[in-house]
Structure formats: structure tokens, C-alpha cells
């Protein structure tokens, strides 16, 4: 079972305790944006086979939203971090790069 | 360049008798596995049901037989070999009903057409109404199906009990209020569908190349020219990606992005028991669906994970959720042991309807996004994709399923119409 550490309350939370929230670090487009921008934001989400950054909510715990770096090909969890950032922390990116030298980096 | 004609001996009762006298030593291989040629008129990437059906109808309906079907693993080893084999066409939206009904009607005579027993069993399919909202939704579907020429009806709880004696219609949480019944829905032997199409394609001279992974897509002036594979470069005038799970990776190689996310969907079978249920039952409110295979196993469909995943195994807790739902609906299965559980990677689009589409790359076409319900669509999907690839423009079946519908807001919104079990 997928287990993620909640960065707020420190609990190692099992998947049944969490709610998945899709791609992290999305730039949102709304009224006034072009059709292409809105489509890319709303439907053409990142779907990598490998390193992926996601939103999760500790739904049956502290209730907070947080972010996780995970490998979609192996289910390996690289780490979790608070949601109040616009990019993954540099030390986490370095850690992923060390484990996955082929990773092209966060874009 | 014309392909050689590899004629196959017909399977028949006489062939069986002849071979019985011959110690069964004379059966020829159902399909040949040649090395790839330098180039083809068309390459299909993905030798699952949809890919092989596309190749078959390219040959049969459009006379294009200089075709290769490229497969990363083994033939039919993806979702074609991992589904719960359910066939139905009781969809709400017109474009879906049209393509799924086309597929269902082709399944009716597929064994005869392919000279290969795909064991199509139109045993009847029920989608249970267990809340008033669900009843209202299904009544709407019945009326829509009437207009679409898809034969479905609404039946009473008593009729449900007659058709499915093992069902509990007075459940404490969700009593059964009726069912959407498609009498000509049912099941087929999933592997045989892939094998039958493969044999027919091979007989037309097409090359089925297994253990051959696509590593890159080459193009010139915005048009595809071929593919790089683990067995070398293969040129092509046209390329069709007909894959599940990894469609996004292929699209990336071809230089575009798909409105698709990959998630794991799982299924399981029980130990075999004596015949106890001769219809397919889907209970979407509690979320579980079940049919009985010819071997006697209860074939059970589970849920999808809520996160992107390429591991072909699902989350454990879905097993419990699915079985809990089905034990509530069929109390007698509570003591059954589960024999196997497995997962497949499904392509989910924003409206839960597939893509059968041209792409930003010229002469490169895509057929993917069948989500959690592609098996039932195989013949219709192949038919529509072959037409798209042969003519370069979609025919009436594929017209609405293009990938630009998300930008333009033309959704084929079956996630609402069909509930969760697709």
C-alpha cells in the first residue's frame, strides 16, 4: 500500500487515509486565457512514466493539502513537502536527480 | 509493394477430425512472426484487440494489406488480456452508442467472419438501479437507446430476481429498484478476439512483430516517415498508435501531448464454482460488477486508483471495497476464495470517452483513451480507426472522437452517463 509522510503532522499515512489531488504546481488559467492555455491546464495534464509531482490531502488525518514526489513506474516515494511552494524544494530535486540520473528535471 | 498471401487452412469439424487421426501434428501456426521489412504502407503500434482489429479492417474494408502490427510485449498481453470481457452498448450519448453498438453487432458474427471461435455469449447484461437518481438516469438511457436503435429495456426488481436468482434485491443499504437490461449484451473470450484478428491479419499477408518496442518516431516536413524500434528502423507512409497506458509516451515521441492520464484498474476472479449466474450484473452505486466465466470462476471488476500509475497492479484496498459491494449484492459469494487479482493501465480522458483522431503530426493517427471499457469496443474501434487511417479523414463513427474536442468544449460526457463502471 502506498504510504506518504504528511509534512504537517508527521504521520506516515496509508493510502486509505489520503485523497489524491492530481498534478502539483499547476498554473491555473481561467476567464481571459486562450483556448489552448485553458485546455492544457484543464485536460492535458502531465502524465509521465517516472518522476511525478502530485497533490495529496491528508483527508482522514489533519486535513491538510501537501505535495509528494513519486515515481509512477515503480511507486517509489521520493519525499513529501508542504504545499505553499511553486516548485519542489531544491534538496528534494537533488535527491531525485541522484536516484534518477535520466530525469530531465522539474519543468 | 504487395504483401504475400499466406492462406490459412480453415478451422472446421472436418479439420478437427482429420487432425485427430493425425495426432494433431498438422496444425499450422495461427500467425507467422517475421522479421520486419524495411517499410510498410501502414504501421499499427500495439497488437492488442484494437490494433489488430484496425489492421484487419484496413485490409478487409480498404484493401491495405502491406501492414505491420508492432507490439512491445506479446500479442494481446496488455489490457486485451486483463479485462472482464464485458460487451454492451447501452450508452447515453449518440456518438458512444453508435460506435459501441457497431462493435457489439460485429461481435455477433465475428467467430464466423474470422473462422475463429471468439466465444461471443450474448447472455444479457443488467445495470442495477439502486437509488432513485440512478433509476432516473437509466430510464433516460433506455429512451436514448430507443432513439439510437440500441435494444435495451427497463425491468422490474422481480424480473431481476428471475434472471439472477442469487441476487439480494432487498439489500439493507441499496435495495434493487430495477435494472437497465440489454438482452444482447454479454461476454466474449478476450484472448480469442486478439488471436482471431491476428490470424486473419496474418492470412492477409500482414506482419505481426512482437517483442519490438517503439523507441522513436521520425518525421519530415510535419509528416511521419517511420519509427525507430528495438528491431531497427521501419519506414511507414502512415502510422497508427493503438495502445493503452503508454499512449502518452508515444505521443511524446511524436512531439505532441494528449489529454490523457494513466491509472491502474484492477480485476479479479474467484475459485471456480458450478454455474450460478448466466448474465452479467453491474452494480454501479455500490461499485462492483460480476459475471461467471465458462470455467466457473466469478469474474469481478474493481475500481481505478486515483493517482497516475504504470505498475499494472492496483491498490489493495480496492479489492476489499469491491468484494464488500458484491457480497452485499450477492450474499452467497461471501465464502468464495479469490483465485487471482491483477491490474492494467488504462488511459483516462477528461470526458471518459476515447480518442480516435488525427494528430498534430501528419499521417500519424491515434486510437486510445478507452479508459476502463475498451474491450467491448474492439471491432467498432478497429473499423472506425481503419477508415480514418485509410482515408485520412474520420468517417461517421470516429468523427466526434477527435482530440481537439477538449479545446472546443464538445465533450462526449459518458462519465456522467455511464457512472463509474465503464
ipTM of the complex in this document: 0.92
How open is the CA angle B72-B74-B77, to the nearest 5 degrees?
A: 100
Selection from B114, B113, B87, B111 nearest residue B101 by Cα: B87
What is the mean pLDDT of the segment spanning B193-208? Answer: 97
pLDDT of residue B421: 45
Identify the closest residue of chain B to A17 by CA–CA distance.
Answer: B317
- Pick the residue with more confidence: B30 or B417? B30
Split at pLDDT 50, 70, 90, the class of B2 is very low
Contact residues on chain B for A60, CB-CB shorter than 8 A: none
Q: Which residues contact B75 (CB under 8 A, 6 or more apart)?
A: B31, B47, B48, B52, B194, B195, B198, B208, B210
Q: Are strands B178-182 and B125-129 parallel, antiparallel or unpaired?
A: antiparallel
Tell me, what's the pLDDT at A1?
A: 84
Is it the case that residue B79 has pLDDT exceeding 50?
yes
Please tell me which residue of chain A has the smallest CA distance to B312: A73
Query: Do B307 and A44 lie within an 8 Å CB cutoff?
Result: no
Question: Average pLDDT for residues B176-183, to the nearest whole number?
Answer: 97
Contacts of A4 in chain B (CB under 8 A): none
Chain B neighbours among A 64-103 (CB < 8 Å)? 70, 72-75
Minimal C-alpha gap between B351 and chain A (Å): 9
Identity of the residue in B260, B315, B406 whose CB atom sits nearest the CB atom of A47: B260
Residue B308, Cβ density class (10 Å: 0-12 exposed, 13-18 middle, ≥19 buried) = buried
Q: Verify whether the Cβ–Cβ distance B308 to A1 is below 8 Å.
A: no
Q: How far is A54 from chain B (nearest CA, A)?
A: 8
Mean pLDDT confidence for B292-304: 93
Q: What angle do CA B197, B199, B203 make, to 5 degrees?
A: 115
Between the alpha carbon of residue B364 and those of residues B292, B367, B385, B386, B408, the distances in Å are: 40, 10, 12, 12, 21
Please indicate whether, in this complex, the C-beta atoms of B262 and A72 are within 8 angstroms of each other: yes
Mean pLDDT across B263-292: 94
Q: How many CA atoms lie within 13 A of A92 on its CB side?
A: 18
Mean pLDDT of B238-249: 95
Q: What is the pLDDT of residue B408?
A: 92
Contact B260 A20 (CB under 8 A): no
Residues of chain A with pLDDT under 50: none
B308 contacts chain A (CB < 8 A):
yes
Q: In a mutagenesis test of the A interface, which of B244, B247, B308 is the best target, namely the one with the most A β-carbons within 10 Å?
A: B308
For B105-118, what is the mean pLDDT?
97
In 3D space, the residue among B326, B363, B347 whose CA is nearest the CA of residue B261 turns out to be B347
Which residues on B lie below 8 Å from A43 (Cβ)?
259, 349-350, 406
Q: What is the pLDDT, as a whole number, of residue B80?
A: 96
Q: Which residue of A has its CA nearest to B264?
A: A72
pLDDT at B363 exceeding the cut of 90: yes
Q: What is the pLDDT of residue B303?
A: 85
At A56 the three-state DSSP class reads strand
Minimal C-alpha gap between A96 and chain B (Å): 18
The answer on pLDDT for B417 being more than 80 is: no
Residues of chain A numbered 16-45 and touching chain B (CB < 8 Å): 16, 19-20, 35-36, 38-40, 42-45
Cα–Cα separations (whole angstroms), residue B320 to B130, B172, B304: 20, 19, 13
Q: How confident is the model at residue B4 (pLDDT cuts 50, 70, 90)?
A: low
Mean pLDDT of B287-291: 92
CB contact under 8 A, B257 and A20: no
pLDDT band at B416 (very low <50, low <70, confident <90, very high): low
Interface test with B, best of A44, A48, A53, A56 (most B CBs within 10 A): A44
The answer to whether the CB atoms of B308 and A42 lie below 8 A apart is: no
Query: What's residue B302's pLDDT?
Result: 86
pLDDT at B247 over 70: yes
Does residue B279 surpass a pLDDT of 50? yes
Residue-range domains of chain A with CATH: 3-99 (3.30.2270.10)
The three three-digit cell numbers of residue B300, written as one number: 469481478
B331-360: pLDDT as tens digits: 999 999 999 999 999 999 999 999 999 999
Tell me what pLDDT residue B341 has: 94
B84 vs B96: CA distance, rounded Å? 20
Residue B248 contacts A, CB cutoff 8 Å: yes
Question: Which residue in chain B is spatially nearest to A2 when comparing CA positions?
Answer: B315
Sign of the C-alpha dihedral computed for residues B301, B302, B306 and B310 taken in this order = negative
Confidence category of residue B422, pLDDT binned at 50, 70, 90: very low
Distance from CA of A99 to the nearest CA of B (A): 19
Amino acid at each position: 500500500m502506498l504510504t506518504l509522510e504528511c509534512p504537517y503532522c508527521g504521520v506516515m499515512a496509508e493510502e486509505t487515509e489520503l485523497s489524491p489531488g492530481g498534478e502539483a504546481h499547476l498554473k491555473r488559467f481561467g476567464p481571459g486565457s486562450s483556448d489552448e492555455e485553458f485546455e492544457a491546464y484543464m485536460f492535458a495534464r502531465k502524465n509521465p512514466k517516472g518522476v511525478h509531482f502530485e497533490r495529496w490531502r491528508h483527508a482522514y488525518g489533519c486535513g491538510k493539502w501537501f505535495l509528494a514526489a513519486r515515481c509512477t513506474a515503480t511507486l517509489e516515494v521520493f519525499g513529501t513537502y508542504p504545499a505553499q511552494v511553486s516548485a519542489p524544494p531544491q534538496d528534494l530535486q537533488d535527491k531525485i536527480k541522484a536516484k534518477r540520473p535520466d530525469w530531465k528535471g522539474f519543468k | 509493394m504487395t504483401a504475400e498471401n499466406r492462406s490459412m487452412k480453415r478451422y472446421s469439424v472436418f479439420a478437427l477430425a482429420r487432425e485427430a487421426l493425425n495426432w494433431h501434428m498438422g496444425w499450422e501456426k495461427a500467425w507467422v512472426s517475421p522479421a520486419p521489412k524495411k517499410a510498410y504502407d501502414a504501421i499499427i503500434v500495439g497488437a492488442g484487440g484494437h490494433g489488430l482489429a484496425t489492421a484487419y479492417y484496413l485490409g478487409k474494408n480498404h484493401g491495405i494489406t502491406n501492414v505491420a502490427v508492432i507490439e512491445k510485449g506479446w500479442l494481446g498481453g496488455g489490457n486485451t488480456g486483463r479485462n472482464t470481457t464485458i460487451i454492451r452498448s447501452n450508452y447515453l450519448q449518440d456518438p458512444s452508442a453508435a460506435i459501441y453498438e457497431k462493435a457489439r453487432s460485429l461481435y455477433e458474427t465475428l467467430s464466423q467472419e474470422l473462422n475463429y471461435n471468439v466465444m461471443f455469449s450474448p447472455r444479457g447484461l443488467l445495470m442495477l438501479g439502486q437509488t432513485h437518481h440512478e433509476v432516473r438516469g437509466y430510464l433516460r438511457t433506455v429512451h436514448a437507446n430507443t432513439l439510437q436503435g440500441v435494444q435495451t429495456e427497463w425491468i422490474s426488481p422481480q424480473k431481476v430476481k428471475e434472471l439472477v436468482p442469487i441476487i439480494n434485491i432487498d439489500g439493507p443499504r441499496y435495495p434493487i429498484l430495477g435494472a437497465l437490461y440489454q438482452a444482447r449484451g454479454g461476454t466474449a473470450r478476450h484472448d480469442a478476439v486478439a488471436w482471431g484478428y491476428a490470424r486473419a491479419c496474418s492470412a492477409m499477408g500482414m506482419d505481426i512483430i512482437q517483442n519490438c518496442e517503439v523507441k522513436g518516431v521520425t518525421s519530415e516536413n510535419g509528416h511521419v516517415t517511420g519509427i525507430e524500434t528495438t528491431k531497427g528502423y521501419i519506414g511507414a507512409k502512415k502510422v497508427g498508435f493503438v495502445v493503452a497506458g503508454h499512449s502518452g509516451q508515444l505521443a511524446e515521441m511524436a512531439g505532441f501531448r494528449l489529454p490523457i492520464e494513466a491509472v491502474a484498474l484492477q480485476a479479479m476472479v474467484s475459485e471456480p464454482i458450478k454455474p450460478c449466474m448466466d448474465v452479467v450484473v453491474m452494480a454501479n452505486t455500490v461499485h462492483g460488477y460480476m459475471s461467471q466465466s465458462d470455467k466457473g470462476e466469478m469474474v469481478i471488476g474493481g475500481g481505478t486508483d486515483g493517482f497516475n500509475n504504470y505498475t499494472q497492479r492496483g491498490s489493495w484496498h480496492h479489492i476489499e471495497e469491491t468484494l464488500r459491494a458484491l457480497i452485499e449484492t450477492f450474499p452467497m459469494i461471501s465464502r468464495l476464495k479469490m483465485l487471482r487479482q491483477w491490474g492494467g493501465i488504462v488511459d483516462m480522458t477528461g470526458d471518459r470517452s476515447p480518442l480516435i483522431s488525427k494528430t498534430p503530426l501528419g499521417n500519424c493517427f491515434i486510437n486510445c483513451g478507452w479508459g476502463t471499457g475498451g474491450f467491448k469496443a474492439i471491432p467498432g474501434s478497429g473499423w472506425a480507426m481503419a477508415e480514418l487511417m485509410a482515408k485520412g479523414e474520420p468517417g461517421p463513427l470516429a468523427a466526434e472522437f477527435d482530440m481537439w474536442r477538449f479545446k472546443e468544449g464538445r465533450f462526449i460526457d459518458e462519465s456522467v452517463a455511464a457512472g463509474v463502471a465503464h
